[in-house]
Structure 1
Amino acid sequence: MKTRRQFGHAVVLACLSLFALSAWSLDAPQERIVLTVTGKITEKNTPDSARFDMKMIEALPQHTFTTRTPWYDQPVTFTGPLLSDVLAAVKASGTTLSATAINDYRISIPLADAAQHGVIMARLLNGKPIPVREKGPLFIVYPFDSKAELRTSVYYERSIWQLKALDVQ
C-alpha cells in the first residue's frame, strides 16, 4: 500500500515534469521516426499524431536507473525520458496506453503507472543506444528493484521492447 509520502512524491514528480515541459514545443521530426503517439493528445506535429525521432526523445529530460530484469543475467542500466515526460510533451489525457512493438506485440498500460512507478522509455542500455536486435531502439522499463510489487508478470509484460507506437485511450 502506498503511504501518503510516496503518493505525494509521485504527484510532485508529475507536476515538475509538466512544469519542465510546459515551454517545450513539439517540432517536426528531422530524422527517422522512432515513436508515434496517437489518441487523446492535444500536442501534435501531424494532423492526427505526434511523431518523434531519436533527437526529439534525447531532448526530453533524461533519467537513469539500474535494475535486474528477467531478460538479462546481470543488473542493467537504462537511460531515457520518463514515460510521464513523453506523455506530458503530447499533452495526453486518458486512462490507458495501448503500446505497440515493431513486431505488432500490443499491451495495455495504465496511464497512472507512468507517474506512480517512475517508468522510463529507455533509449540507452548500459550507456549505449539499444539496437533493434537487443530490444531497441525504445524499451518501456519499470524500476523493478525499487518495489517488490513490480517484480511480477503483470509489470514484466508491460515492459514492452522495440516500442514503435503509443495510443492514448
Structure 2
Amino acid sequence: MGSVIPWASLYAEDKLTLAPPIGSAILTVSGDIAVTNVGDEAQFDLAMLEAMPSHGFETRTPWTETSGYYSGPLLRDLLETLGAEGEDIYVRALNDYEATLPIADLHNYDVLLAIHRDGEIMPIREYGPLWVLYPFDDHVELLGETFRFRSVWQVMHIHVR
C-alpha cells in the first residue's frame, strides 16, 4: 500500500501551495481553487488522499449486490483544503462519464471521495480508485435518480465552478 504521507506534510513550506504528488496522480482538481501544486491545478496521488482525515459509512448502493463499508475523505473537506469557491463541481470519470454536483450536496450529506470498500482499496474494476459516494442508506431522498447520477465512480477529475 505504499507509505502514507502525514497530512501536515502535504503542504509546501509557504502553505499557499500543495506539495506535488510523489506517485502517479490519480485525481486532478481544477477551476476556482486557491491551493494548487501543478500549474493552476491540484494533483493528488493515492498517498496524499489517504493521508487526509478519513470518514466512512456502511451503505448499499444501486450498483453493488451487498452493502459495504466505504471510507475516504469527505469531498467537502477536500474542497475546503483547496480553498474552493463555487456553486457546483463537475466530476469526470475514467470512462468520460460526467456529472455536475451542487456544492450544497456536500454540506447537506457526508459525501465521500471513497477510496476503500471494507478496508480494501477499490480497484478500477470495482468502481475505484475513487468514487463520489452518497450515504444512500442514511437518507431515503438519496435513492432517486438525481443522486444516483451524481455518484460518479472511477473519478479522475473534479472542476470547481
- Quick check: TM above 0.5? yes
**Residue pair 2:27, 2:156 contacting (<8 A) in 1 also:** yes
Normalising by structure 1, we get a TM-score of 0.85
Query: Match for residue 103 of structure 2?
Result: 111
Paired letter, 1:99:
V
Matched residues in 2 for 1:79 and 1:60: separation? 11
The size of the alignment, in residue pairs, is 149
**Residue pair 1:64, 1:77 contacting (<8 A) in 2 also:** yes
- Offset, 1:59: 1.0
Normalising by structure 2, we get a TM-score of 0.89
Paired letter, 1:105:
Y
Query: Match for residue 127 of structure 2?
Result: 135
**Residue pair 2:10, 2:19 contacting (<8 A) in 1 also:** no
Match of 1:80 among 63, 72, 75: 72
Q: What is the CA deviation profile of residues 89-131 of structure 1, one whole-angstrom value per residue up to 9, with x for unaligned ones?
A: 2110000100000011100000111121110000001110000
Query: Match for residue 50 of structure 1?
Result: 42
RMSD, aligned α-carbons: 1.5
- Offset, 1:24: 6.4
Q: In the superposition, relative to structure 1, how do residues 127 and 73 fare at CA in structure 2: closer, same or farther (>3 Å)?
A: same
Of stretches 23-32 and 158-167 in structure 1, the one that deviates more from structure 2 is 23-32
Match of 2:117 among 100, 113, 125: 125
Paired letter, 2:40:
D
Q: Counterparts of 1:6-155 in structure 2 under 5 Å?
A: 25=11, 26-155=18-147
Percent same amino acid at aligned positions?
39
- Offset, 1:75: 1.0
Q: Which runs of 5+ in 1 are unaligned?
A: 1-20
Matched residues in 2 for 1:64 and 1:105: separation? 24
**Residue pair 1:139, 1:162 contacting (<8 A) in 2 also:** yes
Query: Match for residue 18 of structure 1?
Result: none
- Offset, 1:30: 0.1
